[in-house]
Amino acid sequence: MSVTTTELAIAVQSATVSSRRTSPLEQEVVDLFDRLRVRLLRYVYGFGLPVQDAEEVVQEVFLSLFQHLQRGKSRENLPGWVFRVAHNLALKRRTAISNASNLAGLGFAQDADVCADPTPNPEDQSASNQTQRRLLAVFRALPEQDRRCLALRAEGLRYREIGQVLGVSLGAVSISLSRSVARLAEVARR
C-alpha cells in the first residue's frame, strides 16, 4: 500500500495533535462547554436566530471564555458569564441579520409548531391546543425582558445570575418573573 506525501503529512499532523496533552485550561473550557452547550444553544435560539447562527454564537462564546481565562481574568460565576456573553452576541447577530435582510420580528420563533397532546380524544386535543396557543400568544406578548428572564430561569439560572446576564437588578428579575408567571398561570386556568 503506497502512501502519498499529503496523506503522510495529514497522518503526522493528526498524530501530533492527538498526542498533545490538553492543558488544564482547555479541559476546563471543554468541560464547561459539555455542561452548558445544550442549555446555551436553546437560549440563543430563543433570539430567533437560525440554528447555524445560534451554533456559531455558542462557539464564539466558548472561544471568548477561553481567551478570558487565558488572560487570567475572573473565574467567578462562569456559567453566568457565559450566558451574559451569549446574550450580547446573540443580540448583535440578530441585529446584523435583521439589518442585512430587512426581516421584521426576529424575536422568538414566530412559526413554532404547537405540539399536540398525545391523548386519543379529539376534544381533549383541541382544548389542549387552544390552551397552548393562548399561552404562546401571552408569552409572545410579554415584554422582551420578561421573555428573557423566563428563558434564563427555564435554563436553571438563579435570579442573581439572570440579573447579571440581563444587566438588571435582582428586584427587577423578581418582579419580571412574578408578573410573567402570573399572566401565564391566569391563561392556563381558563
Rounded to the nearest integer, the mean pLDDT of the chain is 80
| Domains contained in the chain, CATH given | 23-108 (1.10.1740.10), 117-190 (1.10.10.10)
Which pLDDT belongs to residue 104? Answer: 44
Per-residue pLDDT at 119: 43
Kindly report which listed range (35-39, 82-86, 96-100, 121-125) carries the lowest average pLDDT score: 121-125
Q: Residue range 157-174: average pLDDT?
A: 92
Q: What type of residue is 113? A: D
Long-range CB contacts (< 8 A, 24+ apart) of 104-113? 105/48, 106/47, 106/48, 106/49, 107/47, 107/48, 107/140, 107/144, 107/147, 108/46, 108/47, 108/48, 108/139, 108/140, 108/147, 109/45, 109/46, 109/48, 110/48, 110/140, 112/136
For residue 149, name the pLDDT band (cuts at 50, 70, 90).
very high
Q: Is the whole-model pTM more than 0.75?
A: no
